[in-house]
Amino acid sequence: MFISFLFLQMPEVKIDGLVVDSATGEPVGYAVVVLYRAKDSSQVDGTYTDENGRFSFSTFPGRYYLKVDFIGYKSRTTSSFLVTPKNSPYSIKIALSPSAIELEEAVSEAEPIRVRYEVDRKVITPSSDLVSKGGNAVDILKNAPGVETDIEGNVKIRGSDKFTLLINGRPTLMDPKDALQSIPASQIERIEIITNPSARFDPEGNAILNIVTKRGVRASRGGMVSLRAGTYDNFGLNFLFNSRRGKWNYYLGGMGSLFGFYTSSRQITVSGADTILYSPDGVAYRKMMPLFLYGGVDYDLSERDFLNVEVGGGRFTYMGNTRTTYYKPADTTYSRTDGAFGGNRYSLTLDYQRKGNGEYEALIYYGGFQFDKDFKTRSEDGYIRTYGNGKRQRVRGDLNGSIPLVGKVDFGYRLDYRTSSSLEGLNIFSSDTLFSSYTIEGRRVIHAGYVEYSKNIGNLSFKSGLRGEYTIRRIITSSSEWDSVSYDRFDLFPTFHTSYKRSSWEFRGSYSRRINRPSDFSLLPIRIWMGLYQTMEGNPDLRPEYIDKVEAGFSYYGKKVYLSADLFYSYTSDMIQRYSTLDSNVVVFRVANVGNRKSAGIDGTMEITLSKRLSLDINPLFYRYSYSDGTSGSYFSTTSTLKMNMGFLSAQARIRYIAPHETPVSHVDGTFSLSLGLATFLSRNIRLNLSAEDVLNTFRRSSKSFSENATIYSEMDPFYPRITLNITYIFNRVKVKRKFIKDEGGFEMF
């Protein structure tokens, strides 16, 4: 006990550094800095320099050395140095010498750990992910620990699709699936997966997914342009320009893309011993065309005070087409669905920050999304048209503060005001002609406050917090058939996080309470037609889900192995589940609270250095879950990536495997895929990336779903392989710089 107490009191030391150009003396922003232990050359940590060339490490007393790498400069390894409590913080200045433009030096050997675990989040750096470079955010998440993605681009985090999506720490009014598929992978700086958020975060959703995009370049004038072209309608253009003069910084960026997705499908619906619906030759395509422009101004009010103003706007368009032949016992029906969904989105952000001993932030965010839709289904049986338009708006105001008080106390208040209005229309032309239309208006106001206390005691650190939210919600419809929905609710959300570091090991644990609130459509019993034989309805009696989550994990930083894993357990009360029934040969999807759900599993990542030029990443995920009615299921998947660095050329091969698994309402067959990626620098300014997803065309979905009185067998085959060429040109001999911003919880990120 006494020895353990002494160990807990072991002081933490700090290493502060500055990386500069040896010829000009100017700071080198966003160089890769890796910290090694001198006695065995094991990697301790890795990071990037900030916009001013500075970096910092927190570690324990000992002897270390640093390796610094940056394209266009010679790699630099420092002499070993001793860090003790007496000379902490240890300061070091590292000068990099410019190198000749040689292709064999274009690909960096040193890079920080791809997946870094922090107390309350996983941080994924996709810059070295060659396979996903020509895709979007969903493609990067295919290689993220704890994340599931399916053929259609749906994303789940540890088995749940109910997560909160943030882009640069700001909310988005788009559907998370659409938003993730509209962000090009080349525009993403890093992804943060926060599975057990602290009290300063919004408690909505099982987890938080924060996409941090590239926001500027470090130079008096500079920028980048990226072009993408690929098979199956995969094209894109991204650009980013920046100019800094004194205390002012200006930036302008944009992205425009076309993402195409083509599939063939087969489906059989069986009731008892009879086949009541057979569709052997379905073909579908969808095209997503996001266009977005943004620009902003940063002004340094003082050395401690900073102001940012950013505006953005664009349009999102989705087009789909499905052609299917249905064979029924009495006849044959040909069905074709065409339609489009799209809208204009816009945002304005004002952000004031004060840093130093006592930090404060005031943020105002406004976002809007105006949309319209029109889908038509034609067949011999009739004609169905679903159409509508609407508007979503969100205003959020944050006041956050942090003061030292025998540790640190963080506190804050948030006002979150959301409104939505939509017109929903339905026309059916058949033996009975039906016309209907109605409007839905929703309003949600949340007053939230939180307080957190954190402290470091030697190698041990902890943070505990409590968040309170008062929710006012109103949903009004013009239809006389359905009642309006309203409720006022107050909830408390406690959290706790702790971590313990010892030598090359780090241990962590956490607890949080979360909530999933039903959507407006889920609460209204409105029949929405998704096709000639498929509809969905809401449920006005739905209650929110409450989730209690516990996690425990570790990380090991070895000389040639980085290993990290997390055990997780969650208990969900009043689980919201979608189920299907058969009504007059029409499949009706409904939602209900089905009881409680327990889930437990493990996810992790392993990064192994096999040789100087060869490394291997492995990301497994396994969990089991059960419901209070006795139904249960399990899931296992793994992604393995072999990386080869050959100097002038980098190559990657990735195998993704999803095992056969069960859900409460279906059985899903297993599947796998092989994807490849290549990258090289044609010059110091031009980077070329070639990727091929599912080169063997083996990744498909085959499932058997069960309803009260029918069984549905279905198969879906995407059109693969998808081959993409991506070319990036960087102006003014600079690297892309991450602009310091505040995330959802007020943490700095770049």
Task: Write down which residue in 60, 84, 99 finishes a domain.
Answer: 99
The answer, yes or no, to whether residue 566 has pLDDT greater than 70, is yes
The answer, yes or no, to whether residue 308 has pLDDT greater than 80, is yes
Residue 721: which of 658, 676, 678, 688 has the closest Cα? 676
Encode pLDDT of 279-295 as tens digits: 777 888 888 899 999 99
pLDDT at 432: 53
The answer, yes or no, to whether residue 646 has pLDDT greater than 50, is yes
Encode pLDDT of 117-135 as tens digits: 776 788 888 877 888 877 8
User: Region 568-574: what's the mean pLDDT?
Assistant: 94
* Selection from 78-87, 123-132, 371-380 with the highest mean pLDDT: 78-87
pLDDT at 522: 83
The answer, yes or no, to whether residue 699 has pLDDT greater than 60, is yes
Q: Locate 610 and state its tokens.
A: 């096999």
Contacts of 4 (CB under 8 A, 6+ apart): none
Q: Locate 203 and state its tokens.
A: 């408690």
d(CA 171, CA 423): 24
Task: Write down which residue in 99, 130, 156 finishes a domain.
Answer: 99
Region of residue 128 (phi > 0: left; psi between -120 and 50: alpha; otherwise: beta): alpha
pLDDT at 399: 95
Is 443 within the bounds of a domain? Answer: yes
Residue 211: which of 162, 164, 175, 168 has the closest Cα? 168
Q: How many CB atoms lie within 10 A of CB 521?
A: 17
* Secondary structure (DSSP) of 649-692: -EEEEEEEEE--EEETTEEE--EEEEEEEEEEESSSSEEEEEEE
With a pLDDT cut of 90, the percent of the chain lying above it is: 29
Is pLDDT larger for residue 709 or for residue 666? 666
CB 63 within 8 A of CB 39: yes
Residue 508: which of 569, 570, 566, 571 has the closest Cα? 566
pLDDT at 190: 83
Is 429 within the bounds of a domain? Answer: yes
Q: For the sheet with 13-21, list strands across it.
A: 54-59, 13-21, 90-96
* Secondary structure (DSSP) of 516-571: EPPPHHHHS---EEEETTEEE---TT---EEEEEEEEEEEEE-SSEEEEEEEEEEE
Average pLDDT, the chain: 82
What separation in angstroms does the CA of 294 have from each of 106, 310, 352, 469, 735?
31, 7, 19, 32, 20
Is 83 within the bounds of a domain? Answer: yes
CB 707 within 8 A of CB 580: yes
Is 619 within the bounds of a domain? Answer: yes
pLDDT at 739: 34
Position 683: which residue type?
S
Is 134 within the bounds of a domain? Answer: no
The answer, yes or no, to whether residue 643 has pLDDT greater than 70, is yes
Helical residues (DSSP H) of 117-198, grouped into ranges: 137-141, 176-181
Is pLDDT larger for residue 365 or for residue 521? 365
Q: Give the structural domain span for 52.
A: 13-99
Provide the CATH number for the domain around residue 659. 2.40.170.20
Q: Locate 522 and state its tokens.
A: 């889920």
Is 145 within the bounds of a domain? Answer: no
pLDDT at 427: 72
Task: Record the pTM.
Answer: 0.79
Is 5 within the bounds of a domain? Answer: no
Task: Give Cα 464 to chain centroid, integer Å.
Answer: 25
Count the domains in the chain: 2
Q: Which 3 state secondary structure label does DSSP give 595? A: coil
Residues 533 and 679 in one domain: yes
CB 21 within 8 A of CB 96: yes
Distance in Å from the first CA to the final CA of the chain: 41
* pLDDT tier for residue 530 given thresholds of 50, 70 and 90: low
The answer, yes or no, to whether residue 745 has pLDDT greater than 80, is no
Task: Write down which residue in 66, 99, 132 finishes a domain.
Answer: 99
Provide the CATH number for the domain around residue 71. 2.60.40.1120
pLDDT at 310: 92
Backbone dihedral angles phi then psi of residue 559, each to the nearest 5 degrees: -65, -40
Residues 350 and 489 in one domain: yes
Encode pLDDT of 203-232 as tens digits: 998 889 998 887 644 445 677 888 999 999
Residues 79 and 220 in one domain: no
Please say whether the dihedral angle defined by the alpha carbons of residues 77, 80, 85 and 88, taken in this order, is positive or negative.
negative
d(CA 542, CA 443): 17
pLDDT at 394: 94
Is 110 within the bounds of a domain? Answer: no
Encode pLDDT of 446-480 as tens digits: 999 999 999 888 788 899 999 999 999 888 877 66
Rg (CA), the chain: 27
With a pLDDT cut of 70, the percent of the chain lying above it is: 86
